[in-house]
Amino acid sequence: MNDFPGWHGTTIIGVKKGGKIVVAGDGQVSIGQTIIKGTSRKVRRLSPGGQEVVAGFAGSTADAFTLLERLEKKLEASPGQLTRAAVELAKDWRTDKYLQKLEAMLIVTDGKILLVITGSGDVLEPEHDVTAIGSGGNYALAAARAMMETDLDAEEIARRSMAIAAEICVYTNGNLTVETIQ
């Protein structure tokens, strides 16, 4: 992947525990070393065809919105089948000349499964019921994995992990958007 400013602008985490899946993201948008906005919403609820899906994105905002629109169309074509819709989106992303240039990653969930979708054609379900993307993703992931065996619920793990990432990654802030789905 190219080094483009969009990668340095977010941390998104997904945590599955106790029958809930939580997706949380920070609000910071940076271009290079400049913070442009601190209150962006990079975690959203989608409702294609009446199904509820939560999605978080890292990377270029315009590219992520293009992918979210495509994901909604795939979900409308395959109601209740998030994995199938994600695989179809990943296939298009790899083969379509326009989509190949998009630089973003997605975490998506329908309350049953938690997936990461990448432009490399990957649709990944995390092994340890936690995943993270973006510039602070590795910090949040490590923190969350350490907390998974505690009595904390999914939301508290996501919030604490994001706080740790915000303390370490200069491209992540503590202004969170948190969405829970069961």
- Given the residues 10, 11, 131, 172, select the one marked as catalytic: 10
Intra-chain end-to-end CA distance of the chain, in Å: 34
Instruction: List residues bridging with 25 in a β-sheet.
Output: 12, 177
Q: Which two tokens stand for residue 18?
A: 């106790």
Q: Which two tokens stand for residue 37?
A: 């906005």
C-beta of residue 159 within 8 angstroms of C-beta of residue 24: yes
DSSP letter string over 81-103? -HHHHHHHHHHHHHH-TTGGG--
Q: Which two tokens stand for residue 140?
A: 């949040």
Q: Does residue 61 have an active-site annotation?
A: no
Please give the positions annotated as active site: 10
